Amino acid sequence: MRFEDIDAGTAARRLVVEDSDWAQLTPAEAERLVTLFLAARRFEEKILQLDKLNLVHGPAHSSIGQEGAAAGCVAALPVDTLMNGTHRAHHQCVAKAVNAIYEAPRDGVLSARIRAELQGLMQEILGLSGGWTGGRGGSMHLRRADLGIMGTNAIVAGGIPIACGHAFAEKQRGSDKLMVTFFGDGAVHQGATHEAMNLAALYGLPMIFFLENNKYAVSMSVEQSTYQTELLTRPQGHGIASVKVDGMNPFAVWLAGRWAQNAIRQEGRPVLILAEVYRYYHQSSSIPGSAFGYRTREEEAEWKARDPWLFLQRELPARGILDEGRLAAIDQAVCEAIEAAAASCVEGSGSATRIRAELWPDASTVDAHLNSDMREFDDARFAEPEDFDAAEMEPMSYIEAIARTMGARMAEDERIYVFGEDVANMGGGTVGATRGLTDRFAGRLINTPITENGFCGLATGAALSGLKPVVELMYSDFFLVAGDQLLNQAGKIRHLFNGTASVPLVLRTRIPGLEGYGSQHSMDPAGVFALFPGWRIVAPSNAFDYVGLMNSALRCEDPVLVLEPQELHKRKTLVPKDLDYCIPLGRARRVREGRQITLLATLSMVELCVQVAEEMGVDAEVIDLRTLSQRDIDYDTISRSVRKTGRVAIVEQTTRGASLGALIADEIQRRDFDYLDQPVQRATGRWAPPVVSQALERAALAGADDVRQLIARMLAESGLPQQGEADAVRA
């Protein structure tokens, strides 16, 4: 027996600076690099001063010691490069903002535009209304899209899949823009990082993964975090070429940035730069890490001796690129601008320094920008079945409506892309939801690997960059794998960034129902998504509603969850042939009129409620809720019905714990308590999730017997006529 080495064919190298390389750095480029570095350094120093005065609410993750890497990378790239980062991103954002509008300091002063952006960033970190996003983002969530700063992220590695989406959108548009995503050594161990690297390599995305290895994730060293401490093995495993560079040498990182740009242009593939850096202080304070015992004073002193500012002050004059006087003048201009930015935020001095009261955001705006203002629907054609003549309609199954609606809208809007596992295979995906689309829209149906967190994050970034992604989750429960990207990212971004960003993402989820897929493939996710007010939720119960609600979802500028019960797939409904109409988000529909009881139903339970009411001869009013996001539920229609019948029940097929009904019941009792003749009732499945056994599955989910028992109980408790007696009541 013998073994042969396998060459993966992906380069992982260390960048070594040679004396001849310095010829590439002109005085003008050196001034830019120094300005970016000093702006980041002095900005961070001022933030720490304000933090000591208890003026920074929340964490302020200092990057002092690491600025040379960010400044070197950003200075080497085109000014229109896009970026995002993680929670420790002040230095990256300062460098990117200054680079995007760079002008060399003149007469000891930075330009008015640069000064204004530094002021806006400082006000943002302090939570003030004049900040980049009105103070909502604070230190960890920074966005200034006009300058290419697409949003930093408090979740370690949370922004990396989103960066893939930005790069994907730029590639599809034929843009030359690059995307750089900054992250630390702690993020290397997150699954999101590997999913993003795999997607970037698979799709050939124009992006730079920039890894700042500062040796510690809070207090845990790299050696405590992983057996394989050579972090370049990670991109190598995904087929991404990488270089390691001394991040305390800004010029070396500048060279790495130039290499990365050229490599992407020539190879059409992503790259990774690993910069070895050091943060001088603890996680979020001005106290050194040695005070907490996880590193030594000697180690800190060794790294501080390699400070990037000391390096620039030594090397640039020695090589005749910039003299000491010019370096001092740049520093003076930067310091003046930083002091002015701080002065715009505070008043008083010393321990009496305080935030200017007039700069706090108006508390009444707390709920502003949770969702779109819906102006995108100003020219929409809204319609219901009765608005069409019989000649305009044709029978169509639910599954046909899915594919045909998507095809109609993709033909009109080239921004629509469909992502999901197998969506471009098997002639229409796993259930036929994309039938006929693959050939018509080549390149816009994107097969994804089994990486829900990764491709949902990619879709989020693509939506932020102006595409209209439609994500198909093969089964609804899989949203849990992508929970961070869907709920913590896509659902919060508009509000977090104060309406400066929108995520027009459509998420299609299949609910198997009584199909024997077991408890890990059968969840109705509406109750979970309803907890996040950034999401819209639509629940089409037939093909006509599917077309109208999907058209609205594709028009909406918010993320929209579309629920697709598998047991409805083959049911046919009359649908307009042109498929060109919308159903308003937030409008329920009365599908059966009655005066005894109001039944609020969703999805497959709508038709079931109608059938049971007919069978029992009960004068029940059945309302199809259609929209399930909490702020969109049509309580006007519900109230009109409840005030007529005096009795209401919410009917859902899903299990008790996953039910949305408790929230609806609470709201009805708040609005219509005086009109209720008995408490709001609910019909749901049991507490247990459905398992594969057919008998137990049917017991777990609500069915016709549950609806019959509910109606009979309500009638008995109220003394109303029961089965067979309702006709006499009507007469």
Mean pLDDT of 696-710: 94
Task: Say whether pLDDT at 592 is over 60.
Answer: yes
Residue whose structure tokens are 């008015």: 112
Percent of the chain residues past pLDDT 70, beyond the cut: 98
DSSP 464: H
Residue whose structure tokens are 């109609």: 408
Which residues make up the CATH 3.40.50.970 domain(s) of the chain? 25-359, 375-576
Identity (one letter) of the amino acid at 259? W
Mean pLDDT of 136-164: 96
In whole angstroms, give the CA distance from residue 168 to residue 162.
10
The answer to whether the CB of 60 falls within 8 A of the CB of 87 is: no
User: Which strand (E) or helix (H) includes residue 211?
Assistant: strand 207-213
| 284 band by pLDDT with thresholds 50, 70 and 90 | confident
Q: pLDDT digit string (tens) for 668-695?
A: 999 999 999 999 999 999 999 999 989 9
Residue 484 pLDDT: 96
| 724 band by pLDDT with thresholds 50, 70 and 90 | low
Residue 287 pLDDT: 87
Percent of the chain residues past pLDDT 90, beyond the cut: 89
Task: Say whether pLDDT at 167 is over 90.
Answer: yes
Cα 229-230-235 angle, rounded to 5 deg: 125
| 561 band by pLDDT with thresholds 50, 70 and 90 | very high
Rounded to 5 degrees, φ, ψ at 70 are: -65, -45
**315 burial class (0-12, 13-18, 19+ CB within 10 angstroms)?**
middle
**Mean of the per-residue pLDDT values of the chain:** 95
Cα dihedral 373/374/379/381 (nearest 10) = -160
Q: Could you please state the CATH topology (level 3) that the domain comprising 593-718 is classified under.
A: Rossmann fold (3.40.50)
Answer whether CATH 3.40.1360.10 is correct for domain 25-359: no
Task: Say whether pLDDT at 721 is over 70.
Answer: no
Sheet strand arrangement including 648-651: 589-592, 620-624, 597-601, 648-651, 681-683
Which residues make up the CATH 3.40.50.920 domain(s) of the chain? 593-718
Catalytic positions are 452, 521
Residue 729 pLDDT: 46
Mean pLDDT of 522-545: 96
Residue 494 pLDDT: 98
pTM listed for this prediction? 0.96
Task: Say whether pLDDT at 69 is over 70.
Answer: yes
Mean pLDDT of 641-670: 96
**68 burial class (0-12, 13-18, 19+ CB within 10 angstroms)?**
buried
Q: Which CATH architecture has domain 375-576?
A: 3-Layer(aba) Sandwich (3.40)
Residue 722 pLDDT: 64
User: Which strand (E) or helix (H) includes residue 28?
Assistant: helix 27-52
Cα 694-697-699 angle, rounded to 5 deg: 110
In whole angstroms, give the CA distance from residue 658 to residue 700.
12
> Could you please report the per-residue DSSP string of 286-301?
SS-GGGGTSS-HHHHH
Task: Say whether pLDDT at 517 is over 90.
Answer: no
Task: Say whether pLDDT at 731 is over 60.
Answer: no
